[in-house]
Amino acid sequence: MNSRRLFLQKLGGTALATQLAPIAAWAAKPGMEETYQGPVLRVAIMGLGGYATRVADAMKDCKKAKLVGVISGTPSKIKDWQGKYNIPEKNCYNYENFDTIKNNKDIDAVYVITPNALHHDNTIRAARAGKHVICEKPMAISAKEGQEMVDACKKANVKLLIGYRMHFEPQTLEVIRMRKDGELGKITFFQGLTGFTINDPNQWRVDKKLAGGGSMMDIGIYSINGARYMVGEEPIWVTAQETKTNPAIFKEGVDETVQFQLGFPSGAVASCLSTYNMNNLDRFFLNGTKGYVEMCPSTNYGPIQGRSHKGPLNQPIVTHQTVQMEEMADIILNGKKPVVPVDGEEGVRDMKIIEAVYAAVKSGQKQKISL
């Protein structure tokens, strides 16, 4: 997508009742000109790490969302982003003065891309400032914190969306369509394998205070969430086992490898693995009485590839974060209903399942899940 088009956005028009400014955007294509006239979601990114850079670069191609501000505790990063993304000084904040963003009418939403343990407070501060919130997953380090975030956003009358980029990915949506249309028959089994290797003991992902756990609080959420939207049901029980081979890196409360099994009301089951100790694990497999779908890679930045009993999946290859931000802008600005929810309640459900996984590991017993 980045190679096909560059969108130039120009502020203008009449302010909306919600203080969202319409923008005219032009997309150059060979032999034609495509014009977008409509409201644009003006976004400030909080936390300027590697993934934030990926999102910012992808937003250059958005028509309905525009990066206009930054929040960071590192002044040098703010300066770098100002130059790279043309961010005005008045839209730059640190964590001390961030609450004054409530007085900035040129920012509509804050995208929270900080370590997991900071999501709760960052989201609530943004909501109290009257800004819509997009929060990276996992939304928090507990279901309790997640619910508090949902409640705070409702109280402030702002939207809370979670960064489930796969909910908008074309291959993924095609599998969901096939399942809904009965092409796979009755769903019987799902497998989700997600993982990569961490060898750095100083990375925040293996710091319990910042991450809230280990691989389950990061890569494992893809298999949990994937099992739910692939099977099309909510799990009712879980069993789980933990394997730890390197306690020097994966200290108490930081899981290295977790295998977990989910059961669904229809009788379908899921077998999943989440790890920080193995590479080459990015695979979903969905089986039904009439057919199957395999996706590999299934959740990384792409290109996502899949095949079914009918042959290859041939949906368009997209930049996930560009599509995500376009769709989320539509949800916030126009009330669009996505095929798979990305709201705060969706995030809380995943947190409840993660907590059940951890409880099953600790007890060695099957845990009931109530969502």
In the structure encoding, which two tokens stand for residue 315, read together? 């949906």
The amino acid present at 20, given as its one-letter code, is L
CA pair distance 210, 204, nearest whole angstrom: 6
State yes or no: is 137 an active-site residue: yes
Rounded Cα distance between 195 and 152, Å, is: 33
Q: Which of these is catalytic: 93, 111, 164, 222?
A: 222
Of 64, 131, 137, 352, which is the active-site residue?
A: 137
Contact between 227 and 172 (Cβ < 8 Å): no
DSSP 3-state assignment of 328? helix
Phi-psi map region of 78: left, alpha, beta (phi>0 left; psi -120 to 50 alpha)? alpha
Residue type, 4: R
| Phi (first) and psi of residue 95, to 5 degrees | -75, -15
- Residue 61: which of 301, 342, 303, 325 has the closest Cα? 325
For residue 23, what is the enclosing H or E element?
A: strand 22-29
Who contacts 365 (Cβ-Cβ below 8 Å, separation ≥6)? Answer: 239
**What token pair was written down for 71?**
């929040």
The CA distances from residue 300 to 10, 207, 311, in Å, are: 32, 23, 22
Q: Contact at 8 Å (CB) between 344 and 150?
A: yes
Torsions phi, psi for 361 (to 5 deg): -60, -45
How far is the C-alpha of 295 from the C-alpha of 286, rounded, in Å? 9
For helices 344-363 and 143-156, what crossing angle results, to 10°?
Answer: 170
Which residues are part of the catalytic machinery?
137, 222
